[in-house]
Structure 1
Amino acid sequence: MSNNNEWKHFFGAAYQKFSQYILTEDRTKVEVENIEKILDLQPNFKILDLGCGSGRITIPLAHKGYHLTGFDGSNYSLNIARNNAGNLPITWIESQIKDLDSEHKYDAILSIGTAFGYVDDHEDKQTMEKIYHMLNQGGKLLIDTENRDFMLHQYSENAWNEMGDQIVWSKRKFNPLNSRWREEISWNEDDNIESSILNVRIYSAHELINLLETIGFKVQKLYGSLKLDDFHMRSSRIVIVAGKE
């Protein structure tokens, strides 16, 4: 199981700094438009954005007139989201996904950018059961997460990437007995080596589909990313639309 302090530290200031080079404005614009399309969002829909972070998806959807709730366990990220949202009527909730209040109902629930998998399999299933209960009849869940098959195909214990003007390096370990991915990411900050740790359960498409269908969801669509390309083994992402019918 992932240490609670690990993921809180991981999604802190450094994540916000480096993610801007990956989660660009152009990418966000395309993803928001495609989310509207594949979920067939309607005016006055109530939408829950799980793991909303700094509001990258939440805020643009709120600008379009939908009723948004942003949910995240990182106080640091939510403070940025609140500031970026200004006077938009968004409800912000700071809590862990496993502690969802299942009494609230929504027309659509989003889990974008590998927002779950930080607890064990049993708690992941409990979370999905809560999500199913929180959806109105006919409501839809959208999951966007890492594709385990792709990650293992690309697997190397060490990696280096350029993030702006900085080099970021990673040390990785994969546990085949529980499909947990542990990655220590390091960089130089004012002549000091800083690091954070990602410890997450990564899923294959068939595992996620089986989990959702066991709970009662009907899987409606499967894509290889939020660009809506066809899914295959080497797709970098798994994007699933599942309905409560």
Structure 2
Amino acid sequence: MSQSPSSDWYSDFFSYLPNEFWRRAVPPEATQADIDFIERELDLAPESRILDVPCGSGRHTLGLAARGHRVTGIDLSHEAITHARRTAETSGLTADFVQADMRETPRDGSYDAIVCMGNSFGYLDYPDLRTFLEGLSSTVRSGGGLVVDFMATAESLLPGYGDDPRTMQTGDITAVVASRYDVTDSCQISDYTFSRGDEVFRAEARHHVYTSAQIGHLLTDAGFTDVRRFAGPEGEPYEFGSSRMLLTARRA
């Protein structure tokens, strides 16, 4: 199966093989470190109402629910949402999962916090990202918090950028990825091949690249303030060349 890297490439990408690969690839302790960061940096009160968007297979949604928070996860992938609901049931956890586009958030200002994890921030081009953030601003209450996890910030991606193919293995699933940089649209296009025995899934993914300053301006324009940047869940400062940016902000 193959898709062109259109603006909505993610609508077909996240089927079983890619989802299962990433479910296996991230160790539980990494998720717990993220949850610690979210609770600490947003100073979450007990039983906070949190939106996880997009939530993927629900690892952060369920991790926050296990801490006693009231969490809703939104994701477009039917396979991911089905897996998340099944995991919640077998784990005895309470969380709501909604299959929807990440831009379709409830704009009722009822959430205490929003988390956007897993490098999904770059799925959207500039106009759609602006719309997404404006929606988040209407979804979270005044003074509520936001966490963004992004690895395709220009300051992270471009230093030492290379396009050599990489091979990754998790159990019996192999992923081969070859990336190229589109200077016209400022985005990284990645050719993925996931395989397990005779089962093969091929697709292209597009991650738009934004500078740290652009992201800050977009958040400010959308009504957020107190923007802070970290290089990881331990709270280390984000610097040029850091491989990951964890950003926090508050709804003004």
| TM-score, shorter chain, exceeding 0.5 | yes
Aligned-partner SS, 2:97? strand
Partner AA of 2:29 in structure 1 = D
Partner AA of 1:215 in structure 2 = A
What TM-score comes out, normalization by structure 1 length? 0.91
Alignment counterpart, residue 93 of structure 1, candidates 91, 98, 107: 98
Instruction: Give 1:2 shift.
Output: 5.3
Q: Is the 8 A contact 1:160 1:170 kept in 2?
A: yes
d(CA) in 1 for partners of 2:132 and 2:214? 15
Give the % identical residues: 23
What TM-score comes out, normalization by structure 2 length? 0.88
Q: Are 1:224 and 2:231 counterparts?
A: yes
d(CA) in 2 for partners of 1:218 and 1:203? 19
Instruction: Give 1:83 shift.
Output: 0.5
Q: Is the 8 A contact 2:54 2:73 kept in 1?
A: yes
Q: Is the 8 A contact 1:103 1:134 kept in 2?
A: yes
2:184 is aligned to: 177
Alignment counterpart, residue 109 of structure 1, candidates 93, 106, 114: 114
Instruction: Give 1:193 shift.
Output: 4.9
Aligned-partner SS, 1:98? coil
d(CA) in 1 for partners of 2:97 and 2:84? 9
Consecutive unaligned residues of structure 1, counting only runs of 5 or more, are none
d(CA) in 1 for partners of 2:29 and 2:160? 26
Q: Is the 8 A contact 1:212 1:219 kept in 2?
A: no
Instruction: Give 1:161 shift.
Output: 2.5
Q: Is the 8 A contact 1:47 1:66 kept in 2?
A: yes
Q: Are 1:150 and 2:156 counterparts?
A: yes
d(CA) in 1 for partners of 2:9 and 2:222? 29
Number of residue-to-residue matches in the alignment: 245
Consecutive unaligned residues of structure 2, counting only runs of 5 or more, are none
Instruction: Give 1:154 shift.
Output: 3.8
1:16 is aligned to: 19
User: Larger deviation: 35-44 or 224-233?
Assistant: 224-233
d(CA) in 2 for partners of 1:67 and 1:187? 34
1:68 is aligned to: 71
d(CA) in 2 for partners of 1:200 and 1:97? 15
Q: Structure 2 vs 1, CA of residues 152 and 21 (structure 1 numbering), >3 Å: closer, same or farther?
A: farther
1:46 is aligned to: 49
Q: Is the 8 A contact 2:231 2:244 kept in 1?
A: yes
Alignment counterpart, residue 161 of structure 1, candidates 160, 164, 167: 167
Q: Is the 8 A contact 2:192 2:203 kept in 1?
A: yes
Q: Is the 8 A contact 1:97 1:116 kept in 2?
A: no
d(CA) in 1 for partners of 2:170 and 2:120? 24
Instruction: Give 1:46 shift.
Output: 0.7
Instruction: Give 1:5 shift.
Output: 6.2
